[in-house]
Amino acid sequence: MSAAIEEAFFKVLVVGDGAVGKTSMCTQITTQEFFSDYNLTVGCDFFIKRFYVNNVSVTLQLFDIGGQDQFQKLRKAFAGGAKGIFLAYDITRRDSFYNLEQWYESVKDDLDPRAPKFLIATKTDLSELSEVWNEDIETFKETLTYDAYFETSSFIGEGVNEAFEAMGKMLLSRYDKDEYSKSAQKMKFLEGAHRGIQN
């Protein structure tokens, strides 16, 4: 008889200014697609990403929060109980980088205090238009105290897998096994109940 596979479940937020590429990143990681049209996220989009980290089946439930100002009041409603956070900025928009401090402030009380915080540069295929420099990223470390930094392009599919896998690894190391496997069991139960309702 083979040993039961260990399972882990985590809710993770993806935040940052409108049009920085959050939904594109979640789409790239889940279906490996890229869309050049911009369809703003109304309120929040949801994605599920599953992968293995050292024989543990990790499920990330991604809360991709709409970044446009008109959804500002809704943000808190989606943030509760998150175990990790991606803070995304567009390398071609300096303001989107500095606004991350405010983004973090707006959700930090709803995050688990152990939550890994990843700084994500998006659209690196447009590096000739970059407005954010290495010095900015280093200096920002003092303000934001992020745990990891990744440069990504959803357009060419670069850096995205690495960022999500590193998040999975860090989540497993930050939280207790009991805690994350209980969340996985609860999610399985809810999925089963949902299927029951559909049938």
| Ranges assigned E (strand) in the chain | 6-15, 44-53, 56-65, 84-90, 117-122, 148-151
Residue 19 beta carbon to ligand GTP: minimum distance, rounded to whole angstroms: 4
Residue 21 beta carbon to ligand GTP: minimum distance, rounded to whole angstroms: 3
The answer to whether 183 contacts ligand GTP (rule: CB under 6 A) is no
SS3 161: helix
Q: Which residues pair with 61 in a beta bridge?
A: 11, 48
The answer to whether 40 contacts ligand GTP (rule: CB under 6 A) is yes
Residue 20 beta carbon to Mg ion: minimum distance, rounded to whole angstroms: 9
The answer to whether 99 contacts ligand GTP (rule: CB under 6 A) is no
Q: What is the DSSP letter of 159?
A: S
Dihedral Cα 119, 110, 78, 16, nearest 10 deg: -20
Written as one string, the DSSP assignment of 52-96 is EETTEEEEEEEEEE--SGGGGGGHHHHHTTBSEEEEEEETT-HHH
Contact partner at residue 93 from Mg ion, ligand GTP, none, CB < 5 to 8 Å by partner kind: none
The answer to whether 46 contacts ligand GTP (rule: CB under 6 A) is no
Query: Where along the sequence are the contacts to Mg ion (CB under 5 A)?
Result: 22-23, 41
The answer to whether 159 contacts ligand GTP (rule: CB under 6 A) is no
SS3 151: strand
Residue 14 beta carbon to Mg ion: minimum distance, rounded to whole angstroms: 9
The smaller minimum CB distance to ligand GTP, of residues 26 and 53, is found at: 26
Q: Residues in the site for ligand GTP, rule: CB under 6 A? A: 18-24, 35-36, 38, 40-41, 66-68, 122-123, 125-126, 153-155
